Amino acid sequence: MSTNSPPLLFRPVREEDLAGLTRLVGTIADGLTTLPNDPDFLEHRIHEARRALDSRIRKPGGETYLFVLEDRENGGIVGTSGLLSRVGGFDPFYTYQLRTEQRRYEPLQIEVELASLHLLRNHKGPTEICSLFLHPDYRSGANGKLLSLARFCFLKAFPERFDKDIIAELRGYIDANGRSPFWEAVGKKFFQKDYYTADILSGVGEKEFIEALMPSFPIYMNLLPESARSVVGKVHPATEPARKILLREGFRETDEVDIFDAGPLLRAPREKLRSWSASRTGPAVEGRPDGPIHLLANGNLDFRALLAPAEFHPESGITVEPSTLRALDLAEGDRLQILDL
């Protein structure tokens, strides 16, 4: 490999990545809902992700796309991110919607605003971005942007596989002792399990317990302790950088939160995403670009993306170094996708 080759490569997960993915997941202190530290489940998730790349798929059917970030200098798997083509289906997608109402009693001149949480069930929902994690040793430069934004380039390359609306469920607030204040005040009262057990069960598709045990009536916020009320819609500190990337990308806050930790749900029409409108394609041209670092992708089902210098010329194409083309498995003249960072 040329010393000028981009060291980090974003690509679909493969069967041979199981050991590296297992090691990476083992470094996540509080776990990742959609990728629990279980080699058998991870192997199953890899098989699901490989099936999702079937060229015959023409519409979203709940497929799971899982990508990894590979350090090409040592072969290590240092990050993951994913796309769920459509949430819901046979097992609904659950969220709490925060609603407010005004109550007034004129004789006593009493007026109060009551906030309450209402359970929503979605059987045919939007596309969800998920499974984002970057090893702490690699959280520098634009590596986080590569891991997060490259999947939007995949979505742009294959729009028929995804819904027109995109959501992101962000991890809610967890205290220094690993406890979710919202779960302790709400979920635990009905499920009688610890937060991580319930969250992982839901993340791997075991959701029957939610419908069976979830309270049928709205939950009034005034009845909750301040420790729980204060974290509704608040993200985990480690998730704040991802939240900022998504807000800059075009996502917006909603009135929905996660039913376990009350983390916020962000939403965006895919055409409103910055990467959707800003990404361009053109023929690849070998050269020595003098331009800045860009996110570059090959736009194929065997998707590859990386960060490298590039120059976009509408009349002639996209100039990149030969080593960049090799890393993307492209030849001169092939279509190349480019995104300004």
> Of the residues 44, 236, 294, 313, which is catalytic?
236
Q: What is the DSSP letter of 221?
A: G
Residue range of the domain that includes 27:
8-278
pLDDT reported for residue 201: 65
| CATH code of residue 131 | 3.40.630.30
Strand, coil or helix: 299: coil
Do the domain assignments include residue 323?
A: no
Q: Is residue 172 part of a domain?
A: yes
Task: Tell whether 195 is covered by a domain.
Answer: yes
Structural domain includes residue 106: yes
Q: Is residue 308 part of a domain?
A: no
How many folded domains does the chain comprise?
Answer: 1
pTM: 0.89
**pLDDT at position 3:** 41
**pLDDT at 85 (0 to 100):** 96
Whole-number pLDDT of residue 1: 41
Q: Is residue 61 part of a domain?
A: yes
In sequence order, what DSSP letters do the residues of 110-176 get, joined into one string?
EEEEEEEEEEEEEEE--EEEEEEEE-GGG-STTHHHHHHHHHHHHHHH-GGGS-SEEEEE--B---T
Mark whether 294 is an active-site residue: no
Whether 287 is in a domain gets the answer no
Q: Is 37 within the bounds of a domain?
A: yes
| Cα distances (Å, whole numbers) of residue 155 to 69, 149, 221 | 17, 10, 38
How high is the pLDDT of residue 340?
Answer: 93
pLDDT tens for the chain, 341 residues: list them: 444 567 999 999 999 999 999 999 999 876 677 888 889 999 999 999 999 999 999 999 999 999 999 999 999 999 999 999 999 877 788 899 999 999 998 999 999 899 999 999 888 889 999 999 999 999 988 999 999 999 999 999 999 999 999 999 998 998 888 889 999 999 888 887 777 677 766 655 667 777 788 887 899 999 999 999 999 999 988 889 889 999 999 999 999 999 989 999 999 999 999 999 999 999 999 999 998 999 999 999 999 999 999 999 999 999 999 999 999 999 999 999 999 98
